[in-house]
Chains A and B, each alone.
Chain A
Amino acid sequence: MRALLFALAFLASVAAVTPSANAQTLQSVLQDNAEAVAKPARRTVEAVLAALSAAQLEGVPEFLESWRDRNLWQRNADGLFFVAAEADGGLVLTDLDTGAESRAENTRDFSQIRPNAGVRRVIDAALVQFLLSDPDLNRRLAALDAISRDPAEDQLEPLRASIDGEGNSTVLARKQQLERQLTALYDADPAARITAIEALSGDLSVEVRGILSRILSARDAVAAAIPEGVNVAATLTPGEDFDMATAYARLVDADLAPATVQPADVNAALIARIAEGSVAGVPVATLNTEAARVAAYRTLVAAGEVPPFITPDEREAAIAAHVFYQAYNEPNAEVTAAAEDAQAAIATRLAAGQAADLTLDALSLASIYFLAAVGLAITFGVMGVINMAHGEFIMMGAYTGYVVQLFVPDYTLSILIALPLAFAVTFGAGVAMERLVIRWLYHRPLETLLATFGISIALQQLAKNIFGTQARPLTSPDWLAGAWVINDVVQISYIRIAIFFLALIFLGLILFILKRTRLGLEVRAVTQNPGMAASMGINPDRINMLTFGLGSGIAGIAGVAIGLYAKVTSEMGSDYIVQSFMTVVVGGVGNVWGTLAGATMIGFTQKGIEWFNPSNTLAAQTFMILFVILFIQFRPKGIVALRGRAAGD
């Protein structure tokens, strides 16, 4: 029933507004209050604002901005107001109602209206109110965002005033949220602030964290004794919280102690007194050490020409005679205490959130490594073949996706075509490579490594010749574009989630092929004993070819996946090859589960190291590799090791 009444009231007010808007123009309202507009004072401006508010006109916020920013001019002849800008010695006038522009050559025919600072504040507050009640939803939201970016005390009242009339539930929630934040910051009643602060403590958003640190902002201070009424955040001990030199520098800054003589001061003093190649009786040429300069300066001190050095004892005494402390800018201790509590509560949840976010990041990195490495695990692990061109197969897959998108503009469809096509292309490339090169080198693993490296440089250059050195885009469909935002801390892009699931699907698929199909059985037979397998009617050539094709095909699909979130370049393969090998080696050769374990470990370790030093991903990679080298010391056969005679030597 109440809701209905509200709705009716709202409709009525809208209905009331519409006709009156036609009746009045902005200029006419202003002319009604011409005196107050032209010579605004804090007392009189309220009346103008009330009139503008009552008139419910369009363009009022823009007018208020111009007024505030001293862009409003009055024509002396007829008293009409214009928004005007000075240009080429004249004025460009804009009509308030029609927006029509005209030019006036002589600025003396007009007077600029200059509201003082107090008036401008009042206008500002009104402006906020106008925007907050603007009929356009987006403008209301924009106004709220502006408040959130730069909260100020005088926004609180307009914000509160605008809550009642708010019809849109999203905007209403946002207004209430901001109202809480502003209350926490600015309400006159400490109790209200504390309540608001406590209500904020469950919120992890950057906004709220900003509000709290604003309340808790503190300044460094020093005094002979802490003055009464200061809300002390912490008392600091020189030598522990900061070094003695800093402590003394603070005393100097606070004019509580004489300034120290810096090397630059010494130099300046000496240079100023150079006469005939010497200063203070010392030849300039000998002043090529700090000690010599100090000695010369002391001579000047003795002559009373320059201020003396501060001795360590003097410094100690000066520091000991003062208290160093941090004082909250917020005077009310209860408010800061409540904010401290809220901040601590948020910090705990923040740490948990960051841990969750890190885990998600690590999982996503691990799935990328898994995708990049699992094809290698098949060729390297199962067949014992080192394929240095594996990275280039990843690249081929990514370029396949790029080429498909050139022909198929629909991104969803193009990805669906690109995935199997990339598999087919790299499967073919893998089979060709196995037939032409690798099968001649099965018992010379080091030479396989080198030959495939030759193929890798040839393919890389070929890609450069065809596609150029520029990075090519592989655009993901819209439904994969966003990010899954759990809160301001924990979020993950959909594309990474998709890669995670792709990795899971491949894990299942490969396990299925190797464990449950005829092909897998034959692969395992050939791996363990090619001679025996051949005598049982398995064609090892065919199996090797298919296995190699499978491993390469998976690299192609990994290429599409990687291309979707990273750039497609001819060198993208080499970015992944070393990590992929390490994934396989760390995980344990010859085992898909091992690759999974290796990818997980490398992904998590790398993210873990990045967490300690987030600014430096290069360092994280360096330490990661060192970690892998050390890890192999302790588990030379990887995490999931084959034991016994089967492991070989």
Chain B
Amino acid sequence: MNGSLLEVSGVTVTFDGFRAINNLSLQIGEPELRAVIGPNGAGKTTFMDIVTGKTKPDEGRVLWGEKSVSLLEMSESQIAQAGIGRKFQKPTVFEAQTVRENIVMALRNPRGPFDVLFRRGEVASEERVRGISDEIGLTEALDKVSGTLSHGQKQWLEIGMLLAQDPRLLLVDEPAAGMTPAEREHTTDLLVRAARTRAVIVVEHDMEFVRRLDCKVTVLHEGSVLAEGRLDHVTQNQDVIDVYLGR
């Protein structure tokens, strides 16, 4: 496919003889919302680790953007600056700091120590902070220490931090885990809205949540793609039924 934002091809990773990812190939365009599902140990998290630079694959290519830059030679921070944001399974906001500090830190601004110290090249941060806090519904809590937030609020704060980064590709790991139904709905809205202007990959366990996202689905199994397509289409695939739904 031409004009794809992220192209993963033939990637393999081995941990102590165990193939976590096996000849995985995957492409995603911009804008696009994609759900990645699969049973435990299918390699979903490892896939994200590879894209964000945390794990280096044994073989394969990971290409990014119009210029097809290889992500494999870049460090985590460089990849993040290139426009890939990641939300972890467990909410990892900086609990000792206020919501505002968390968002300000994530805002798309020059990232060097001296840029940060002297606030070089920073643009209208307060307005942007407001915009994001409105979006995630935490404007009231801006000056609260984020450790005091509820679990769902932390998840949203983390999504807010991702939005603040203004990435072109968003990797979201199990965003709905541990949320109340109302919180889930809010989260779905956030993700669908985000996917209007950028690529979003959601890794999820929960079929119901994926159904509500209403998007193309990639099924992973034993480190490679088992099936791809609309959820209805995928769920009728016999292989998928065998390994995933038929458990």
Residues of A within 8 A of B (CB): 643-646
Q: Is B15 an interface residue (CB 8 A)?
A: yes
Bound form: Cα–Cα A645–B41 in Å? 13
Q: Is B16 an interface residue (CB 8 A)?
A: yes
* Nearest Cβ on chain B to A281's Cβ, whole angstroms: 64
Per-residue A-contact encoding for B1-44, CB less than 8 Å = 1, 0 else: 00000000000000110100000000000000000000000000
Query: Which residue, of A643, A644, A646, has the highest number of chain B Cβ atoms within 10 A?
Result: A644
**What residues of B have a CB within 8 angstroms of the CB of A644 in the complex?**
15-16, 18
**What residues of A have a CB within 8 angstroms of the CB of B15 in the complex?**
643-645
Bound form: Cα–Cα A645–B15 in Å? 7
| A643-B16, A645-B16 given; 6 more Cβ-contact pairs under 8 Å | A643-B15, A644-B15, A644-B16, A644-B18, A645-B15, A646-B16
**What residues of B have a CB within 8 angstroms of the CB of A643 in the complex?**
15-16
* Nearest Cβ on chain A to B167's Cβ, whole angstroms: 23
Say whether chain A's binding surface is mostly helix, strand, loop, or mixed.
helix
Bound form: Cα–Cα A646–B18 in Å? 13
Bound form: Cα–Cα A644–B16 in Å? 6
Bound form: Cα–Cα A645–B46 in Å? 11
Per-residue A-contact encoding for B74-91, CB less than 8 Å = 1, 0 else: 000000000000000000
The 8 closest A-B pairs by CB, nearest first: A644-B16, A644-B15, A645-B15, A643-B16, A646-B16, A645-B16, A643-B15, A644-B18
Q: Which residue of B lies closest to A646 (CB)?
A: B16
* Nearest Cβ on chain A to B100's Cβ, whole angstroms: 29
**What residues of B have a CB within 8 angstroms of the CB of A645 in the complex?**
15-16
* Nearest Cβ on chain B to A386's Cβ, whole angstroms: 24
Bound form: Cα–Cα A644–B46 in Å? 12
* Nearest Cβ on chain A to B43's Cβ, whole angstroms: 13
Bound form: Cα–Cα A643–B18 in Å? 12
Bound form: Cα–Cα A646–B15 in Å? 10
**What residues of A have a CB within 8 angstroms of the CB of B18 in the complex?**
644
Q: Which residue of A lies closest to B14 (CB)?
A: A644
Q: Which residue of B lies closest to A649 (CB)?
A: B54
Bound form: Cα–Cα A645–B16 in Å? 8
Bound form: Cα–Cα A292–B18 in Å? 83
**What residues of B have a CB within 8 angstroms of the CB of A646 in the complex?**
16
**What residues of A have a CB within 8 angstroms of the CB of B16 in the complex?**
643-646
Q: Which residue of A lies closest to B15 (CB)?
A: A644
* Nearest Cβ on chain A to B54's Cβ, whole angstroms: 9
Q: Which residue of B lies closest to A643 (CB)?
A: B16
8 CB contacts below 8 A, A to B, read A643-B15, A643-B16, A644-B15, A644-B16, A644-B18, A645-B15, A645-B16, A646-B16
Bound form: Cα–Cα A643–B15 in Å? 8
Q: Which residue of A lies closest to B20 (CB)?
A: A645
Bound form: Cα–Cα A644–B15 in Å? 5
Q: Which residue of B lies closest to A645 (CB)?
A: B15
Q: Which residue of A lies closest to B46 (CB)?
A: A645
Bound form: Cα–Cα A644–B17 in Å? 9
Bound form: Cα–Cα A382–B88 in Å? 29
* Nearest Cβ on chain A to B237's Cβ, whole angstroms: 31
* Nearest Cβ on chain B to A328's Cβ, whole angstroms: 67
* Nearest Cβ on chain B to A640's Cβ, whole angstroms: 15
* Nearest Cβ on chain A to B83's Cβ, whole angstroms: 25
* Nearest Cβ on chain A to B244's Cβ, whole angstroms: 23
Bound form: Cα–Cα A644–B55 in Å? 10
Bound form: Cα–Cα A534–B63 in Å? 46
* Nearest Cβ on chain B to A641's Cβ, whole angstroms: 12
* Nearest Cβ on chain A to B44's Cβ, whole angstroms: 15
Bound form: Cα–Cα A645–B18 in Å? 11
Bound form: Cα–Cα A644–B18 in Å? 10
* Nearest Cβ on chain A to B49's Cβ, whole angstroms: 11
* Nearest Cβ on chain A to B189's Cβ, whole angstroms: 34
* Nearest Cβ on chain A to B17's Cβ, whole angstroms: 9
Bound form: Cα–Cα A644–B20 in Å? 11
Bound form: Cα–Cα A137–B121 in Å? 96
* Nearest Cβ on chain A to B18's Cβ, whole angstroms: 8
* Nearest Cβ on chain A to B56's Cβ, whole angstroms: 13
Bound form: Cα–Cα A129–B15 in Å? 82
* Nearest Cβ on chain A to B151's Cβ, whole angstroms: 21
* Nearest Cβ on chain B to A646's Cβ, whole angstroms: 8
Bound form: Cα–Cα A412–B15 in Å? 53
Bound form: Cα–Cα A23–B183 in Å? 127
Bound form: Cα–Cα A645–B14 in Å? 10
Bound form: Cα–Cα A496–B18 in Å? 46
* Nearest Cβ on chain A to B19's Cβ, whole angstroms: 12
Q: Which residue of A lies closest to B17 (CB)?
A: A644
